Structure formats: structure tokens, C-alpha cells
């Protein structure tokens, strides 16, 4: 694979893939959004469902299954899947850690966050720990610049990180806990640090 996270070790491609009954219903709902003959437009959400069903990565069998389902060539599915960095072509760790290193996060100290991840997990970017628990990725802007620096672990954002809080989050994940998502400092969602937290308590300058 030309890009993406390397798996922990050798792995096997499953021989076949099929949506679970539940996912099939979900997929059909998405396909139905598009007019007849334009079902191929549903490929991205369907790839996402397939990746979730397969435990965080896209086996070839899944791409071939989707090609059949949407009536498109496998290479076309492969083109889409390989274009987006969110699709993984090989198994990734149970926790896929994506550290944002784009300018706002970098200015706010993403280098320290990334360094903390590397030293705690003992792996470099685009690698997976030998036990298959963590994979580490560098990500471009994930849209949480207000609370920079931040990282995404699977579907959850951890924001306002420092090296210490990063280690805390990773340690909690390693213990099998689910750390509190969102800001890791005393901040409510994306409100200013230290308040105000509502518009009613907001006082404009000079008031």
C-alpha cells in the first residue's frame, strides 16, 4: 500500500464479505437517496459502513462486494477508498490515534502531543503497536482548531491537549477505560476558557 498505517504484522485478507442484516438496511437507505442509475454516489458512506463492520479497515472482499452491490468496477471502488485517508487498507490497532499537526494545532503545541504519543506507544507515525492496540497517524486539520491541539481516537476527539493529558488519555485507553472526550482542560465545549459559557452571561467590552 502506498499510503496509510502499516498493520502490526502479516495479516490475511478475508475470503468474503457481506453486510450484516442491520448494515444492509442502513446501506439500502443510503443507496435509496440517489436516483436510479446513480447508485455509485453512495460509495463513500458504504465504504465507511463496511470499514466499521470489518473492525476499522477495508478488506479487498469488502471493496469487491461493494462494487457488485453498486454495479461499478472494482478499480473505481479502489480509487475512492485509496483517495481518502480515512479508509484503511490493512488492519489498524484497536485505537487509531490521529494527531492533528496542521498549523493551528502545531502553533499550539502539537509537536509535544505527537512526541508524547510516540514515546508512550513506542511507535512512529503510520505504525501499529505489536500487540495491535494502538495505531498512530498524523492527520490534517480535523476542524477543532478552537481547542487546539487535539487528536482523534477512533470516533472521539480529545482536545486542549498537553503532553501530560495526552499520556493520561492514552493510559486510560490502554487500561480499557473510556476517557472523557472533548477538552482535557476546564473548558466547556468550545467556549472561551474560563467562561462565559452562555450568551446571557456574556458581557461585551466596555459594558
Partner 1 sequence: MPILTVDGKTVEVPAGANVLQACEAAGVEIPRFCYHERLSIAGNCRMCLVEQEKAPKPIASCAMPAADNMVIRTNTPLVRKARRGVMEFLLINHPLDCPICDQGGECDLQDQAMAYGFDQSRYQENKRAVSEKYMGPLIKTTMTRCIQCTRCVRFATEVAGVEEIGAIGRGETMEITTYLNQAVTSNLSGNVIDLCPVGALTSKPYAFAARPWELKKTESIDVHDALGSAIRVDARGAGVLRILPRLNDDVNEEWISDKTRFAVDGLAKRRLDRPYVRVNGKLQPASWDEAFAAIGAALSSTPASRVAALAGDLADAESIKALKDLMTAIGSTSTDCRIDGAKLDASVRASYLFNSGIAGIEEADALLLIGSDPSTEAAVLNARIRKRWLKGGFKVAAIGPKVDLTYRADFLGEGADVLEALVAGQGFAEVMKGARKPAIIIGQGALSREDGAVILGLAHKLAEATGVVKDGWNGFNVLHTAASRVGALDLGFVPGEGGLSVGDVEAGKADFVWLLGVDEIDMTNLKAPFVVYQGSHGDAGAHVADVILPGAAYTEKSGTYVNTEGRGQRTKRAVFPPGDAREDWAILRAFSDRVGKTLPYDSLAQLRVKLVEQVPHFAALDEVTPAAWAPFGSDGEISPAAIGYAIENFYLTNPIARASATMAECVAVKQETACGCGHSHGATGTHG
B/e letters for 144-173, b = 16+ CB within 10 Å, e = fewer, are: bbebbbbbbbeeebbbbbbbebbbbbbeeb
Nearer to partner 1, 89 or 92 (CB): 89
45 CB contacts (<8 Å, ≥6 apart)? 30
Pair type for strands 151-153 and 156-159: antiparallel
- Please tell me whether residue 3 binds partner 1 under the rule CB under 8 A: yes
Least gap, CB of 136 to partner 1 (angstroms):
19
Q: Considering the complex, what minimum distance in angstroms separates the CB of residue 61 from partner 1? A: 11
Which CB sits closer to partner 1, 87 or 158? 87
Site for partner 1 contains 44 (CB under 8 A): no
Judged by CB under 8 A, the chain residues 52 through 91 that form the site for partner 1 are 60, 72-76, 78-79, 82-83
Q: Do 93 and 128 form a contact (C-beta atoms < 8 A)? A: yes
Position 36 contacts partner 1 (CB under 8 A):
no
Using CA atoms of 59, 65, 69, 71 in order, give the dihedral in degrees to the nearest 10.
Answer: 100
Contact residues for partner 1 (CB under 8 A)?
A: 2-3, 60, 72-76, 78-79, 82-83
Amino acid at each position: 500500500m502506498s499510503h496509510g498505517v502499516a498493520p502490526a504484522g502479516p495479516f490475511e485478507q478475508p475470503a468474503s464479505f457481506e453486510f450484516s442484516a442491520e448494515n444492509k438496511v442502513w446501506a439500502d437507505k443510503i443507496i435509496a437517496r440517489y436516483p436510479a442509475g446513480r447508485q455509485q454516489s453512495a460509495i463513500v458512506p458504504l465504504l465507511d459502513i463496511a470499514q466499521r463492520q470489518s473492525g476499522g479497515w477495508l478488506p479487498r472482499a469488502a471493496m469487491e462486494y461493494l462494487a457488485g452491490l453498486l454495479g461499478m468496477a472494482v478499480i473505481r471502488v479502489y480509487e475512492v477508498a485509496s483517495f481518502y485517508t480515512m479508509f484503511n487498507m490493512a488492519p489498524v490497532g484497536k485505537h487509531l490515534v490521529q494527531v492533528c499537526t496542521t498549523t493551528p494545532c502545531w502553533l499550539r503545541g502539537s509537536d509535544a502531543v505527537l512526541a508524547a504519543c510516540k514515546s508512550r506507544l513506542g511507535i512512529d507515525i503510520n505504525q501499529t503497536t505489536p500487540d495491535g492496540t494502538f495505531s498512530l497517524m498524523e492527520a490534517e486539520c480535523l476542524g477543532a482548531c478552537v481547542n487546539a491541539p487535539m487528536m482523534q481516537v477512533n470516533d472521539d476527539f480529545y482536545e486542549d491537549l498537553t503532553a501530560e493529558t495526552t499520556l493520561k488519555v492514552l493510559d486510560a485507553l490502554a487500561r480499557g477505560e473510556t476517557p472523557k472526550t472533548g477538552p482535557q482542560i476546564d473548558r466547556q465545549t468550545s467556549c472561551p476558557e474560563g467562561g462565559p459559557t452562555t450568551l446571557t452571561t456574556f458581557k461585551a467590552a466596555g459594558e
